[in-house]
Amino acid sequence: MREARDTRKTTRNTRSSRPTSIIILSFIYLVLFASMLTYISYNSTKNKQKYMNNNFNTRQKILTAQNTRGQIFSRSGDVLACTKTDKKGKEVREYPYGNDFAHVVGYASHGKAGVELMSNYYLINSSIDLSDKARYDSKKQKYPGNDVTTTLSVDLQKVCSSAIPSPRKGAIVVSNPETGEILAMVSKPDFDPNTISEDWKGYLEEDSSEATLLNRATQGLYPPGSTFKIVTSLAYLREHPKDYNDYAFTCKGKVSEGDNTISCYHGEKHGSLDLYKSFAKSCNSSYANIGLNYVKQKTFNDVLKELMFNGKLPIDLAYSRSKSRVRDEMNKGDIMQLAIGQGATTVSPMHMNMITSAIANDGILMKPYLVQEVNSADGKVLESYHPEEYKRLMSEEESRILTEMMVQVVQKGTASKLKGRSYTAAGKTGSAEFNSSLTDSHAWFTGFAPADDPEICVTVIVEDAGSGGSFAVPIAKRVFDAYFG
């Protein structure tokens, strides 16, 4: 006892004033915890879908055991995918349109793809009212999952699907440039999602050039060929905003710079040309000349960056990044190749469609979207997507000039098969050589209609078919006709 009292006395001498250090330390920890809890709440809400869709997340199984997978609808309410339960109680995913929507709607077994993957989170969750859930419980049934309504049009999709006849390979993207809605998306060769389980092994063993499961519309990378002249033209307009009309060139069928020679398609001699004519006739010599002598490397690279080359695209589907860049070490021949869309440049059909849409929409790219609404099975609207500006890719003036140039392509140039219809189309063809032999080329067309007030933007590529004007343009025509007819 005595001992204790003595020590207490000694500590009395060590008494001190109340320190600010304790207040400061408490404050530091309060700030730390406030930021940590904010971060946790924010991060877990923002990434909820991404985490749920991860293949390592086992929670999907809980939800699929609890809810029946929701349905996918077209823009007018046709069922594109639904789950039926057979007599034995086994669930089967049905796709009434079979091959037609194969890639874009996708599949939900053996991994997922398309809308089935994109909207998986909604499809496997059920947001019906608690009282409804109780009713399903009492009947010992699973809850119905949420339904997804897409922007896809069954009519256009069917036209597109039949427009590239088997065994041709290729892709078509149809969108509304004013809203960003994707109206149709086709990739060939396609598959039947109803029998994907049975056919799966075959797809894995097939030749890599076949790649049936690949959605060529977004994941296929092709040399853009002459469609790339849109990009070169934009770079030229940037460099010569005032005097672009003064451009003059005489085409002799080919142009040489040192050892490098660029020839026009089939060696055709286009004679004397201005910018419009060079574009309409798709004169390689003239564009090689523009790329080499009239556009600075920096301007070109800036334009490429603005048009989202080598970068991300604002779409939710799986896609491949387009590649194109003017490098310091490139020689003159490489630069000429680049200007006409050959060489190392590659682009996906979806990306080409987005660039074309921006031209059609006064230079503004609307964010492309495929899902317009998510509803619970009892009809509540859970999410609804509206047209949204993504960004301006070019000035209004530039888009006006490019539109005029693309109209000339239809009126006087390589896409003349679209001439004289009830609508005025604008577009650009391309015949992209994909190996050294001159005969093999992918046929491209990208364009929109009506030219003065665009409603629909179509991009077509057919692999190894020949020239864009003779193979891709007729396909685009069928799509335009179906839309306006």
Partner 1 sequence: MKLYVTEIAKYVIALLLFLFTSDSFVALTKPYESDRKLLYTRQIFCMFGVQVSCFIQIMARTGKVSYLFFFAFQIVIFASVIMLFYLIYPDANKVIINNTCMLLMIGIIMITRISYEKAIKQFIIVAASFLIGFFVPELIFRLNVLKRYAWAFAIAGIVAIGIVLVLGTATHGSKITYTIAGITFQPSEFTKIIFLFFLAGSLFREKEFKDLLKIAVVAAVHVVILVLSKDLGSALLFFMVFLALVYIATNNIGYLIMGLGFGSVASVIAYGLFSHIQVRVKAWLDPLGNIEDAGYQLSQSLFGISSGGAFGLGLYGGSPQSIPFVEQDFIFSAIAEEFGIVFAVIMTLICVSTFLHMMYEGYVMHDKYYRLLACGIGISYIFQTFLTIGGGSRFIPLTGVTLPLVSYGGSSVMVTVVMMMIFEGICLVRNFEEAEDYIRHDRGRGSKRDYYDERGKRYEEDY
Write out the residues near partner 1 by the rule CB under 8 A: 1, 3-5, 7-8, 11-12, 14-16, 18-26, 29-30, 32-33, 35-37, 39-41, 43-45, 47-48, 51-52, 54, 56-59, 61-62, 130, 133-134, 137
- In the complex, the smallest distance separating the C-beta of residue 221 from partner 1, rounded to whole angstroms, is 23
Ordered DSSP codes for 161-183: HHHS-TT--EEEEEE-TTT-BEE
* Cα–Cα distance for residue pair 105/116, rounded to 1 Å: 6
CA nearest to 160, candidates 168, 175, 171: 171
CA nearest to 183, candidates 161, 157, 216, 164: 157
| Pick 133 or 325: Cβ nearer partner 1 | 133
| Pick 43 or 297: Cβ nearer partner 1 | 43
| Pick 37 or 92: Cβ nearer partner 1 | 37
* Cα–Cα distance for residue pair 388/372, rounded to 1 Å: 12
- In the complex, the smallest distance separating the C-beta of residue 108 from partner 1, rounded to whole angstroms, is 20
- In the complex, the smallest distance separating the C-beta of residue 30 from partner 1, rounded to whole angstroms, is 7
- In the complex, the smallest distance separating the C-beta of residue 36 from partner 1, rounded to whole angstroms, is 5
- In the complex, the smallest distance separating the C-beta of residue 52 from partner 1, rounded to whole angstroms, is 7
Helix (H) or strand (E) holding 287: helix 284-293
| Pick 57 or 85: Cβ nearer partner 1 | 57
Contact 364, 454 (CB under 8 A): no
| Pick 3 or 198: Cβ nearer partner 1 | 3
For residue 423, the one-letter residue type is Y
Contacts of 222 (CB under 8 A, 6+ apart): 346, 347, 348, 349, 432, 434, 442, 444, 461, 463
| Pick 35 or 197: Cβ nearer partner 1 | 35
* Cα–Cα distance for residue pair 329/363, rounded to 1 Å: 32
Angle between helices 297-306 and 229-239 (to 10 degrees): 120
Sheet strands (E) in 161-306? 170-175, 182-188, 249-251, 254-257, 260-263, 271-273
CA nearest to 187, candidates 201, 166, 204: 166
| Pick 124 or 418: Cβ nearer partner 1 | 124
- In the complex, the smallest distance separating the C-beta of residue 53 from partner 1, rounded to whole angstroms, is 10
- In the complex, the smallest distance separating the C-beta of residue 55 from partner 1, rounded to whole angstroms, is 9
| Pick 125 or 372: Cβ nearer partner 1 | 125
- In the complex, the smallest distance separating the C-beta of residue 13 from partner 1, rounded to whole angstroms, is 9
Q: Is 440 helix (H, G, I), strand (E, B) or coil?
A: coil
Q: Is 7 helix (H, G, I), strand (E, B) or coil?
A: helix
